[in-house]
Structure 1
Amino acid sequence: MTSIDDIITPMTTEVPFSTEDYDYNYNDNFTSLMCDRESVRVFRSQYEPPLFWIITIVGGVGNLAVVWIYLNVRKRLKTMTDMYLLNLAVADLLFLVTLPLWAAEASYSWIFGHTLCKINSALYKVNLFSSMLLLTCISVDRYIVIVQSTKAQNSQMERRRCSRLVCAAVWLVALLLATPELVFSMPTSVESKYYCRMVFPAYLGNRAKILVLSLQVSMGFFLPFIVMAYCYSVIGFTLLNTRNFEKHKAMRVILAVVVAFVVSQLPYNSMLVMETAQAFNLTETDCEKVKAMDKMEQVLKSVAYMHACLNPFLYVFVGVRFHRDLKQLLHCCYCLPLPSKGSLGKTRSPLNSTRVSVMSDSDNSQALSL
């Protein structure tokens, strides 16, 4: 599991690396200081498990509802955004599957073996990267549909076919970026307990840790943030200069998406940037500061993970179509009465019919909020 306390740099020893020696054949930037991190482990054991389970349950329910609606209610993906949102829900679900294992590790120890350590670490990173890249794809698709609406209308079928290739490319890139976790993750012993961590061989030096952290920060935050910031800025400018458009509703959706992404991801990735810089110079020598950073990292990491709970509400459940589909899903599960056809099929006024409403079923509306 990638974190400040979990990415381990190798021992500066001439002994060749061996997985048979991993009990104590590892250290981090501060082991030489004999810094006792027992308080950090106690904090993690009390803080992470309940929060991780809450994130898993809430995010699981929301994302399962999205998958169920797409596969059983709609049964057809009409737009590129539909394809991206379905893949995003799957990525979030696979990411949430890893959290109970990390919660169990925090409470007790890593008891799931060597192979599952590698698989869980790689699965966590695959879905971290795929989620962020899919959010990037959604912002680009919204940009094309809103800012280049004529081009988007003329190439709907082509873009729909292209979305499958884009999703396949996203998963492939995420798999490649998760290769270090699959190769170097293993259970390591700390005071009679085992933790699933990345352990790098001595010949790689500190470069491996710097590379892993740099990839996570650049591909998992900065690239998506730059693309999203540009796309949504242009979209917002376009909406503000468009007549007969429900601008306020659309701008609230855009603002919610950007704020949620920045608030959840920026603090944790800023901490990872600090960790990367520290891996270059190894200047921190205060044990108390080290432990304070570790605890802060645990808190910020949990905040970043909450984005998996927010995605269904930010990107899916704000739209009229999904409100209707969700009611149909609840009707099937709990035998709730469905709204009358009259309420669902009310005729629009001539003024409303000419609007490209952010809450309508048009391709333009799906580019903002389904």
Structure 2
Amino acid sequence: MTTMDDIMTAFTTEDPSSISPSPTPEDDYEYPDLLCDRASVREFRRLYEPPLFWMITLVGGAGNLAVVWIYLNFRRRLKTMTDVYLLNLAVADLLFLITLPLWAEEALHGWSFGSALCKVNAALYKVNLFSSMLLLTCISVDRYVVIVQSTKAQNSQVERRRCSRLMCVGVWLLALLLAIPELVFATTTEGSSQEYCRMVFPPSLGNSTKILVLSLQVSMGFCLPFIVMAFCYRVIVAKLLKTRNFQKHKAMRVVLAVVVAFVVSQLPYNCVLVMEAAQASNMTMTDCEEVKRFDKAGQVLKSLAYMHACLNPFLYVFVGVRFRRDLLQLLRICRCQPPASKSKLSSTTRASVMSDSDTLQALSL
């Protein structure tokens, strides 16, 4: 005989960002997957997530802290809008990375940090998700203006830098606005003798609210920004192909690599969210084993999505010539090595200064 504890245990969600309505006994017939025992999914999460999340936190934290340090200490590098956006991107990643140890602890021992921190932790992921995509969209639009409308960009550098700061403020405010559902509905819930942090809607709201929130995340957090970026880079590539300066193609590598890495990491997980919305709408999966396979696949793709927070610094180091120079200078400072000769330092400084009047310098990080 199935008890309420069995139902709550089966219903407990393994994904901290997943969304489920609060079940009641009279609604059992509407949720046939409630009777599916997902203990194997929880065990998979317990073994899989903690070491991976800690690795992402340590590697991504070190890399993004280096990015922030370099940008703040080499203030000349903030002369372009892209620099301002990339600095904010690193800050967004750091805010997200501080939440992963809490999710790792929940995977091992359940959530023991209270409902308030549950709301904050769930919201920070969404703030990072939306702000990252919107900042990458801003970068794409800025590169479009610099290359396709180079004369206009050169004549309005001061206004554009001021605009970039206003855009960053707007991005953060919009990301916070889109994270309101997490602040409202994320809470702790009991399951399998442990508490978990997850989204819980009142029964009166039902699955329609879950579908709405998932649709908002997919559309605003991926589809719309991706459409804008695809348009901008299609025009940029067409413009560059008409030039004979092939160094400009190399200069595009950093920004393109950052965008491609984010899309590759986020697209599979957004497909999972679309399938979750379909499941909430018409229960497309009713077989228990199929549900458990989907949950495990979602865990893996969710981790792939989280890894974007530690990818960007490595893209800067291995692709960005100027960033690599500044990183070597940072390492020399950390090792207390004597500075480079005056002539060499002067040459490096000139190479590091970014100017939108030169398209190559504007794109090289």
TM-score, length-scaled by structure 2: 0.88
Secondary structure of 2:68 counterpart: helix
% identity of equivalent residues: 72
Q: Which amino acid aligns with 1:148?
A: Q
Residues 271-330 of structure 1 deviation map (CA, whole Å, 9 limit, x = unaligned): 111111221112321000000000000000111111111122335763333223212211
Compare 331-340 and 273-282 and name the one that shifted more: 331-340
Partner of 1:22: none
**Residues 1:2 and 1:286: Cα distance change in structure 2 (over 3 Å):** closer
Determine the C-alpha separation between the residues in 2 that align with 1:26 and 1:72.
Answer: 59
Secondary structure of 1:186 counterpart: strand
**Larger helix proportion, structure 1 or 2?**
2
Whether 1:11 and 2:6 are equivalent positions in the alignment is: no
1:365: Cα distance to partner?
3.2
Q: Matches of residues 218-237 of structure 1 in structure 2 within 5 Å?
A: 218-237=219-238
Partner of 1:183: 184
Determine the C-alpha separation between the residues in 2 that align with 1:28 and 1:236.
Answer: 51
1:244: Cα distance to partner?
2.6
Q: Which runs of 5+ in 2 are unaligned?
A: 1-12
1:159: Cα distance to partner?
0.7
Q: Which amino acid aligns with 1:141?
A: D
Determine the C-alpha separation between the residues in 2 that align with 1:211 and 1:249.
Answer: 41
Partner of 1:41: 42
1:41: Cα distance to partner?
0.3
**Residues 1:28 and 1:114: Cα distance change in structure 2 (over 3 Å):** farther
1:338: Cα distance to partner?
4.0
Whether 1:152 and 2:153 are equivalent positions in the alignment is: yes
Q: Which amino acid aligns with 2:72?
A: L
1:361: Cα distance to partner?
3.2
Partner of 1:368: 363
**Residues 1:5 and 1:255: Cα distance change in structure 2 (over 3 Å):** closer
Partner of 1:50: 51
Secondary structure of 1:8 counterpart: strand
Q: Which amino acid aligns with 2:114?
A: G
Determine the C-alpha separation between the residues in 1 that align with 2:241 and 2:24.
Answer: 58
**Residues 1:5 and 1:87: Cα distance change in structure 2 (over 3 Å):** closer
**Residues 1:367 and 1:204: Cα distance change in structure 2 (over 3 Å):** farther
Q: Matches of residues 140-219 of structure 1 in structure 2 within 5 Å?
A: 140-219=141-220
Secondary structure of 1:51 counterpart: helix
C-alpha contact 2:33 2:286 (8 A) present in aligned 1: no
Secondary structure of 1:312 counterpart: helix
Partner of 2:303: 302
**Residues 1:252 and 1:82: Cα distance change in structure 2 (over 3 Å):** closer
TM-score, length-scaled by structure 1: 0.87
**Residues 1:5 and 1:62: Cα distance change in structure 2 (over 3 Å):** closer
Determine the C-alpha separation between the residues in 2 that align with 1:281 and 1:366.
Answer: 52
C-alpha contact 2:79 2:354 (8 A) present in aligned 1: no
1:203: Cα distance to partner?
1.2
C-alpha contact 1:10 1:206 (8 A) present in aligned 2: no
C-alpha contact 2:247 2:360 (8 A) present in aligned 1: no
1:85: Cα distance to partner?
1.0
1:346: Cα distance to partner?
5.5
What RMSD over aligned residues (CA atoms) do the two structures have, in Å? 2.7
Whether 1:239 and 2:240 are equivalent positions in the alignment is: yes
1:210: Cα distance to partner?
0.6
Determine the C-alpha separation between the residues in 1 that align with 2:300 and 2:29.
Answer: 23
C-alpha contact 1:73 1:329 (8 A) present in aligned 2: no
Q: Which amino acid aligns with 2:23?
A: M
Determine the C-alpha separation between the residues in 2 that align with 1:28 and 1:104.
Answer: 32
1:251: Cα distance to partner?
5.3
Partner of 1:18: none
Compare 223-232 and 299-308 and name the one that shifted more: 223-232
Secondary structure of 2:23 counterpart: coil
Q: Which amino acid aligns with 1:164?
A: R
Compare 65-74 and 206-215 and name the one that shifted more: 65-74
Q: Which amino acid aligns with 2:168?
A: C
Number of residue pairs matched? 350
Q: Matches of residues 1-370 of structure 1 in structure 2 within 5 Å?
A: 3=15, 6-11=18-23, 29-32=31-34, 34-74=35-75, 77-250=78-251, 252-253=253-254, 256-314=257-315, 318-343=319-344, 361-363=354-356, 364-365=359-360, 367-370=362-365
C-alpha contact 1:236 1:251 (8 A) present in aligned 2: no
Determine the C-alpha separation between the residues in 1 that align with 2:189 and 2:29.
Answer: 10
Residues 134-154 of structure 1 deviation map (CA, whole Å, 9 limit, x = unaligned): 111111111111111111001
**Residues 1:26 and 1:10: Cα distance change in structure 2 (over 3 Å):** farther
**Residues 1:155 and 1:247: Cα distance change in structure 2 (over 3 Å):** closer
**Residues 1:83 and 1:125: Cα distance change in structure 2 (over 3 Å):** same
**Residues 1:66 and 1:251: Cα distance change in structure 2 (over 3 Å):** closer
C-alpha contact 1:240 1:247 (8 A) present in aligned 2: no
C-alpha contact 1:55 1:309 (8 A) present in aligned 2: yes
Q: Which amino acid aligns with 1:166?
A: M
